[in-house]
Structure 1
Amino acid sequence: MPRLYVPDLSPVPDTEFDLPESAARHVQVLRLQPGDTVTLFSGQGGEWQAQVSAMGRKQVAVRLEAHTAVERELDRHVVLAVVMPANDRMDTVVEKATELGATVIQPLMASRSVLRLDGDRATRKVAHWQGVAVAASEQSGRTRVPEIHPVKNLRQWLPTVPTDWARAVLSFAPQTGALPWIQAQRPGQTLCFLNGPEGGLSPEEVQQCLQTGWTPVGLGGRVLRADTAPLMALSLAAGLSST
């Protein structure tokens, strides 16, 4: 059954309304017809069964039927702070991180960044990545959509990170492995993983992380790409989730 994200969904059974443009386009591409059933979710938890009630050239109307209080999220919030990899690899990071259960994705720039974004270009990229997260949530069955935060400079962002988060920087000189570090955190505590660019964080950036309470953690003896390491860390956290 097709799953569609409708952020302003009114939670009242038998309500009939037009789908937003992107969701309506999806229904038309699938060649659904009046009477066909779709699943809708708003990102606030749970999902609705709805029936297509009318099809127009650009508009698609549906009628809400039954609500299911299903929850497929991890048992804790996981934030991925990623110094953006080059080319289109950030798209992959966002897509796979969504599938694996990330709550927030923070794109960053560091001193050794290859990809640098600012102004309108950064705004457009964040909107694009938010769309990638929506599509991945629809496909994977998530009931909530990760939030893609605006692009920030690492040095400016580090002082703003809440001190009650468990904060780990992925490192080649770890104090501990990522798995035991995750297991040592208290239940329900927000986990935040920071990963550097292709060339790694500079010594000054590493020092700033240490001075602001980050723990260097490792992912084994292999060298992982900048778009692989954060997903591996997230996978470990997701694997320990009770859901």
Structure 2
Amino acid sequence: MRIPRIYTDSPLTEGQVAALDDNAAQHVGRVLRMQPGQELLLFNGDGQDFPATITSAGKKQVEVQLGSPTANTTESPLEIVLGQTLSKGDRMDYAVQKAVEMGVTRIVPLTTERCEVRLKGDREDKRLRHWQSVAISAAEQCGRARVPKILPVMTVDEWFERTGDCDLRLVLHHRTEQSLTALNKPVRIALMIGPEGGLSGDEIAAAEHAGFLPVALGPRVLRTETAPVAAMALCQWLWGDFGG
């Protein structure tokens, strides 16, 4: 049986008896229905995995005994910051989940001219918490050492300002002949994904003016939730840890 990996935002120390935080305790006790004596792996984003044995378990509270940590080496040397235009339904969830599996560093939800989703106030806060939960679950499943942060929703102009530290900035645009394979190896990438209707001509022009390079992944038009997965897989193959 596979040992579950559980994320906690609490400090972890070898040998300590620790109570899991509420979300982790509910998942272990209520969803997985684990019992005392069973094992799991805890991680909190510090790059280490802590083996743990459950000492007591209920539906609301779970305590564990921590063992010796081991270094987790699943993080890619390539940093990818994803600017993902908001989309309806489960499409945004899919984009977040698969981006985490592909090794994204952080995710910025974007509002663009043709974006059909508008979030404000409590609704925005609720969706951000939900997407962060999706990212946590994806990191637990795929074995990552760190959980990518979901940043607050930004406009296109705010996104341009926040990506100045990236040495390669890309905007996906199917009406260009520029491909990823012709580019030099970067260390930190900003990747901008448009909505279902695509970015407007003005937005693409603004992105280019801000230093973004339009690139195409091939002759077919990809959906907004498919494009980041395909793009990051290629980036990891060319410059990251996919072995290209």
Q: TM-score, normalised by structure 1?
A: 0.93
What is the match of residue 13 of structure 1?
14
What is the match of residue 204 of structure 1?
202
Aligned to 1:79, the other structure's residue is in SS state: strand
What is the match of residue 60 of structure 1?
62
Give CA-to-partner distance per residue, 1:151-170, whole Å, 9 cap, x none: 11113322332154310000
What is the match of residue 185 of structure 1?
185
Give CA-to-partner distance per residue, 1:46-81, whole Å, 9 cap, x none: 200011011234211001012111210111111111
Q: Distance in 2 between matches of 1:179 and 1:4?
A: 37
Q: Distance in 1 between matches of 2:165 and 2:148?
A: 21
What is the match of residue 31 of structure 1?
33
Q: Distance in 1 between matches of 2:163 and 2:27?
A: 37
For the pair 1:173 / 2:171, whether they are aligned, the reply is no
On the 8 A contact 1:177/1:219 being kept in 2, the answer is yes
Percent of matched pairs sharing the same residue: 39
Q: How does 1:41-60 map to 2 (within 5 A)?
A: 41-60=43-62
* 1:226 corresponds to which of 224, 227, 232: 224
Shift of 1:175: 5.0
Mark the CA change 1:175 to 1:213 in structure 2 (over 3 Å): closer, same or farther. farther
What is the match of residue 92 of structure 2?
90
Where does the alignment leave 5 or more consecutive residues of structure 2 unmatched? none
Q: TM-score, normalised by structure 2?
A: 0.93
On the 8 A contact 1:83/1:195 being kept in 2, the answer is yes
Q: Distance in 2 between matches of 1:94 and 1:180?
A: 27
Shift of 1:86: 2.1
Aligned to 2:129, the other structure's residue is in SS state: helix
What is the match of residue 129 of structure 1?
131
Alignment RMSD (CA, Å): 1.5
Q: Distance in 2 between matches of 1:17 and 1:55?
A: 12
What is the match of residue 103 of structure 1?
105
How many aligned residue pairs are there? 238
Aligned to 1:66, the other structure's residue is in SS state: coil
Mark the CA change 1:127 to 1:117 in structure 2 (over 3 Å): closer, same or farther. same
On the 8 A contact 2:26/2:59 being kept in 1, the answer is no
Shift of 1:172: 1.8
Where does the alignment leave 5 or more consecutive residues of structure 1 unmatched? none
Q: Distance in 2 between matches of 1:226 and 1:15?
A: 45
What is the match of residue 152 of structure 1?
154
Q: Distance in 2 between matches of 1:75 and 1:17?
A: 32
On the 8 A contact 1:9/1:41 being kept in 2, the answer is no
Mark the CA change 1:9 to 1:163 in structure 2 (over 3 Å): closer, same or farther. closer
Q: Distance in 2 between matches of 1:144 and 1:163?
A: 21
Give CA-to-partner distance per residue, 1:199-243, whole Å, 9 cap, x none: 111111111111111100001001111111111101112223236
What is the match of residue 242 of structure 1?
241
Aligned to 1:231, the other structure's residue is in SS state: helix
On the 8 A contact 2:114/2:200 being kept in 1, the answer is yes
Shift of 1:197: 0.8
On the 8 A contact 1:110/1:155 being kept in 2, the answer is no
Shift of 1:25: 1.3
Q: Distance in 1 between matches of 2:46 and 2:117?
A: 33
